[in-house]
Amino acid sequence: MSTTLLIGGRVHSPADPHATALAVQDGVVVWLGQDSAGRALHEGADEVVELDGAFVAPAFVDAHVHATSAGLLRTGLDLTTTASLAECLTALTEHVRGTGHGLVWGHGWDETAWPERRPPTRAEVDAAAEGAAVYLSRVDVHSALVSTALLDRAPGTRDADGFSADGPLTKDAHHRVRRAAQDAITPAQRAQAQHEFLRHAASMGIACVHECAGPDISGADDLADLLARAGGDLPEVVGYWGERGTADLAARHRVRGLAGDLFVDGALGSRTAALCAPYADADTSGALYLDARQIAEHLITCTRAGLQAGFHVIGDAAVTEVVEAFALAEADLGRPALAGARHRLEHLEMVTPEQADRLGQWGVVASVQPLFDAAWGGPDGMYVDRLGPGRGVALNPFARLAAAGVVLALGSDAPVTRVDPWATVRAAVHHRTEGSGLSPRAAFTAHTRGGWRAGGVDDGLTGTLVPGAPATFAVWDAPELVVAAPDSRVQRWSTDPRSRVPGLPPLDTGADSPTCLRTVLRGRTIFDRGEGSPDGPA
């Protein structure tokens, strides 16, 4: 047996909130306590790690990612910071000239933040691309700008639903042209993108990610490569495949469930989220891809097969279909069987209190992205542009969902928002709509233990630091810790030694995020800043 003793830190543990040391044996936490006791009890430890006051906490789980696309953002054309239409086109031209005229894979433009308030036309993209095949996904990845050169590689796109002769492509047209772009990515490029993303995730204190794959998103080969690459010295990957089918389909793709981005609707930014009333800034109510009957059939099939079902659902019309579908499935299966399957809903942005209560009774897991609210919420954000002030400030009601008993798991939806778990926790706490945020403890739990529970691991140990738990944790260079009441968004200093509440780094708006020093997955170090990282010293 191999034993590692970590001493001189600040350990986030409900078993001993004042622990400064922990011992790990064969991938399991076997002891927590004070340094002196640790040295005496584990005198013959195979390895002793001096923490020098660092903060040790359960590692994060990112409950919704697209690894290859997120990795391509790190190696391709990053448009997430472009401040204008003109800057976007200039960035495209510079990228083409710097890398040659092969496929340009770019991501992140958001016309709602530009002074022009519109995306480039196809003619403008063609001129900037200088003949290159170009795929530029909008920040929500539910529409894309493409060059004519790429369009010519995607037969049938011009006749598909969602095609625009001059603007972004949505719906089936977008899926077709994205497949053409993916076909142009070499296996080596895909391998590099996946590896870069997983290394980056580990460097941010993330030990596990949930890959939301599917036939219209990334493809079977992409998912198979990612699952084969994960583990070892990289984070664990829990795979989901967004397609309706049977247990044979799940087994073929080696996934936890037929869930993730199985689309009921689209996204608000691209005006494809399905709404009960039209958008405030366009004459459309979005797109509904599945109805209640189809959703219910999938829930029933997966429940009987012992699989998680799940759906991408954002708009209020889509949520209405999902709630009706769960009611239909309950009538067929009974509530205990339906709730026991822990089916997932991704995003779940427009949900009423009554709907939240019903979803809680059905044991639903909500995989949510607090950085959506940070980017687009509030009285002056994109949500209000798209929906008007009444609807636009009522999205992402995390507190309402938690109060209803819905299990929350936090994630990034990378590349839609950045992989930054402390910023995600902070955004969940400081929701831009009063009353919708979580307490610091609830937000941190949703990004650690909640992620494991969302992936089917609910043993009461995983995602915590207590004796008997898997040794999955991150070590952080963090300022002094702050203790908060469970139901408070305000952290309060506590020096009372009788306190049984583990502290967290300050989560005030504008506070610096801790720096990850080491990430450990079941006793294996998957990131060590001292040995070099994609974001740290070489």
At 253-267, the pLDDT tens digits run 999 999 999 999 999
Asked whether 125 and 168 are in contact (CB, 8 A), the reply is no
125 pLDDT higher than 60: yes
pLDDT band at 485 (very low <50, low <70, confident <90, very high): low
**Cα 457–Cα 462–Cα 468 angle in degrees, nearest 5:** 130
pLDDT band at 512 (very low <50, low <70, confident <90, very high): confident
Give the mean model confidence (pLDDT) for residues 353-364.
Answer: 98
- CA quadruple 330, 335, 341, 342: dihedral sign: positive
Residue bearing tokens 């829930």? 299
CATH superfamily for 187-454 is Metal-dependent hydrolases (3.20.20.140)
pLDDT band at 490 (very low <50, low <70, confident <90, very high): low
Rounded to 10 degrees, what is the CA torsion of 241, 238, 395, 170? -30
**Cα 42–Cα 46–Cα 47 angle in degrees, nearest 5:** 90
Give the mean model confidence (pLDDT) for residues 365-386.
Answer: 97
- Residue 146 is predicted with a pLDDT of 97
CA atoms of 449 and 443, how far apart (whole Å):
10
- Residue 517 is predicted with a pLDDT of 98
pLDDT band at 497 (very low <50, low <70, confident <90, very high): very low
- Residue 75 is predicted with a pLDDT of 81
- Residue 492 is predicted with a pLDDT of 47
CA atoms of 349 and 342, how far apart (whole Å):
19
Q: Tokens at residue 531, please?
A: 């040995």
pLDDT band at 488 (very low <50, low <70, confident <90, very high): low
CA–CA distances in Å: residue 404 to residues 327, 340, 350, 357:
17, 16, 15, 5
235 pLDDT higher than 80: yes
CATH superfamily for 3-59+464-531 is Urease, subunit C, domain 1 (2.30.40.10)
- Residue 342 is predicted with a pLDDT of 97
CA atoms of 326 and 317, how far apart (whole Å):
15
CA atoms of 329 and 247, how far apart (whole Å):
18
CA atoms of 345 and 311, how far apart (whole Å):
5
Q: How many Cα atoms within 13 Å fall on the side-chain side of residue 290?
A: 28
pLDDT band at 493 (very low <50, low <70, confident <90, very high): very low
CA–CA distances in Å: residue 312 to residues 276, 289, 309:
17, 10, 11
Instruction: Supply the angle between the helices 220-229 and 187-203 in degrees, to the nearest 10.
Output: 50
CA atoms of 417 and 204, how far apart (whole Å):
14
At 42-64, the pLDDT tens digits run 888 999 999 999 999 999 999 99
* Same fold across 70-183 and 187-454: no
Give the mean model confidence (pLDDT) for residues 449-468.
Answer: 96
- Residue 55 is predicted with a pLDDT of 96
CA–CA distances in Å: residue 265 to residues 62, 223, 332:
22, 22, 25
495 pLDDT higher than 70: no
139 pLDDT higher than 60: yes
The mean pLDDT of the chain is 93
Model confidence, pTM: 0.93
Q: Tokens at residue 480, please?
A: 């002094």
User: What Rg value do the Cα atoms of the chain yield, rounded?
Assistant: 23
Burial of 507 (0-12, 13-18, 19+ CB in 10 A): buried
The structural domains of the chain, with segments of one domain joined by +, span: 3-59+464-531, 70-183, 187-454
Which CATH number is 70-183 given?
A: 3.10.310.70
pLDDT band at 537 (very low <50, low <70, confident <90, very high): very low
Q: How many helices (H) and strands (E) does the chain have?
A: 19, 22
489 pLDDT higher than 60: no
Pairwise pLDDT comparison (430 vs 100), residue with the higher score: 430
In which element (H, E) is residue 49 found? strand 47-50
In which element (H, E) is residue 343 found? none
At 23-42, the pLDDT tens digits run 999 999 999 999 999 899 88
- Residue 491 is predicted with a pLDDT of 52
414 pLDDT higher than 50: yes
Q: What percent of the chain has pLDDT over 70?
A: 95
Q: How many Cα atoms within 13 Å fall on the side-chain side of residue 335?
A: 6
Give the mean model confidence (pLDDT) for residues 128-134.
Answer: 95
Alpha helices in 47-204 (DSSP H): 67-75, 85-99, 122-129, 148-151, 171-183, 187-203
pLDDT band at 170 (very low <50, low <70, confident <90, very high): very high
At 391-412, the pLDDT tens digits run 999 999 999 999 999 999 999 9
292 pLDDT higher than 80: yes
273 pLDDT higher than 60: yes
- Residue 498 is predicted with a pLDDT of 47
- Residue 398 is predicted with a pLDDT of 98
CA–CA distances in Å: residue 129 to residues 105, 119, 200, 401:
12, 15, 29, 45
pLDDT band at 1 (very low <50, low <70, confident <90, very high): confident
In which element (H, E) is residue 384 found? helix 382-392
Question: What are the backbone angles phi and psi of residue 166, rounded to the nearest 5°?
Answer: -135, -15
- HEC profile of 225-276: HHHHHCCCCCCEEEEEECCCCCHHHHHHHCCCEECCCCECECCCCCCCCCCC
